[in-house]
Amino acid sequence: GAGVSQSPSNKVTEKGKDVELRCDPISGHTALYWYRQRLGQGLEFLIYFQGNSAPDKSGLPSDRFSAERTGESVSTLTIQRTQQEDSAVYLCASSLGAGYNEQFFGPGTRLTVL
Amino acid sequence: GNSVTQMEGPVTLSEEAFLTINCTYTATGYPSLFWYVQYPGEGLQLLLKATKADDKGSNKGFEATYRKETTSFHLEKGSVQVSDSAVYFCALNTPNTGNQFYFGTGTSLTVIP
């Protein structure tokens, strides 16, 4: 079956503009995660969705960042008024859910803020 | 809280050398432990995992043993190949407490012929 997909694969934007990144998890996976990976650095947790529970937003770096998920399907990560320090690869991962402990990663969206 | 610490890179080895990448963790409860690998230009993929103390995960010649007494999950391979060049991430997961994942900062490995 299909893996986790993300779009766009690359996004170049100007400072101050809003961007929206999309993630399609594996069908049937109730858990969905967003991470940020800056150049040469590790994964930085952003947000986690599990079924219909309230999302864990503890990793969002500022109120410019938000994410939504439609049921157990698509998720969008929105960054408002982008800054140059937002430039990174944004990774999405999904897993079967609580108690299942393997994550499957998408290819990422490379965001460049000029 | 939960966290993962892994040795800093970059690591450069000659082909057929022995590899160790250290990983230690701090966790509440009983975490599962993972190594993920990111090959150049590709996404992260699971390399191996262990879900309880003393378990050994293995794949593609890599091994790691879940050591609760030393809170460690060191990655080893007896003879590395050029194709093993990648970034390796140690991670833990607490499936009984929210299923949150915590990743280390990654260790870059380059294997030279």
* C-beta atoms of B46 and A101 within 8 A: no
* Closest Cα in chain B to A106: B43
Chain B positions touching A99 (Cβ under 8 A) are 95-96, 99
Chain A positions touching B49 (Cβ under 8 A) are 101-102
Q: Which two tokens stand for residue B33?
A: 């432990």
Percent of chain A scored above 90 by pLDDT? 63
Chain B positions touching A43 (Cβ under 8 A) are 44, 89, 103, 106
* Closest Cα in chain A to B104: A42
For residue B109, give Cα distances in angstroms to A30, A43, A96, B26. 33, 17, 30, 24
pLDDT band of residue A109 (cuts 50, 70, 90) is very high
Contacts of B66 (CB under 8 A, 6+ apart): B33, B50, B51, B52, B53, B54, B55, B56, B57, B73
C-beta atoms surrounding B106 within 10 Å:
24
Q: How far is A93 from chain B (nearest CA, A)?
A: 9
pLDDT, tens only, A22-76: 999 999 898 899 999 988 777 888 999 988 888 989 889 999 999 999 888 899 9
* C-beta atoms of B95 and A45 within 8 A: no
What integer is the mean pLDDT of A85-90?
Answer: 96
Q: What is the pLDDT along chain B (113 residues), one digit of tens a residue?
A: 888 999 888 999 999 999 999 999 998 888 999 999 999 888 899 999 999 999 999 999 999 999 999 999 999 999 999 999 999 999 998 766 666 788 998 999 999 99
Q: Which two tokens stand for residue A67?
A: 């994410």
Nearest to A102 among B46, B104, B105 (CB): B46
C-beta atoms surrounding B83 within 10 Å:
10
Q: How many helices (H) and strands (E) does chain A have?
A: 0, 10
**Radius of gyration, CA atoms only, chain A:** 13
Query: What is residue B84's three-state secondary structure?
Result: helix
